[in-house]
């Protein structure tokens, strides 16, 4: 489900990149998630994961933007 205060950006495969807007969190975005056309969450990363594994997380995010997410997966296996 898309929540009030989230930004939605269309990506590959009819999916969407979803993250907090300024009105949703004036301190900045604390998570990024990907949802399908029915708004089912497929992939989620929070700010702590970016800190712990920045290269892996950014690589997965960029891949998901470019290729979409094929199914709901655990990000540790993306």
| Residue 23 host element (H or E) | none
pLDDT at 72: 72
Tell me the per-residue pLDDT of 57-74, one tens digit each, with 9 for 90 and over. Answer: 999 999 999 999 987 766
Domain residue limits, the chain: 6-72
Calpha distance 7→20 (Å, rounded):
6
pLDDT at 58: 95
Tell me the per-residue pLDDT of 2-49, one tens digit each, with 9 for 90 and over. Answer: 999 999 999 999 999 999 999 999 999 999 999 999 999 999 999 999
Q: pLDDT category, 78, cuts 50, 70, 90?
A: very low
Calpha distance 16→37 (Å, rounded):
7
């Amino acid at each position: 489900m898309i929540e009030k205060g989230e930004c939605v950006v269309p990506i590959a495969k009819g999916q969407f990149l979803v993250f907090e807007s300024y009105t949703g969190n004036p301190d900045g975005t604390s998570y990024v998630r990907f949802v399908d056309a029915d708004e089912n969450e497929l992939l989620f990363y929070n700010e702590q994961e970016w800190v712990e594994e920045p290269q892996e997380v950014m690589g997965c995010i960029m891949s998901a933007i470019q290729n979409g997410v094929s199914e709901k997966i655990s990000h540790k296996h993306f």
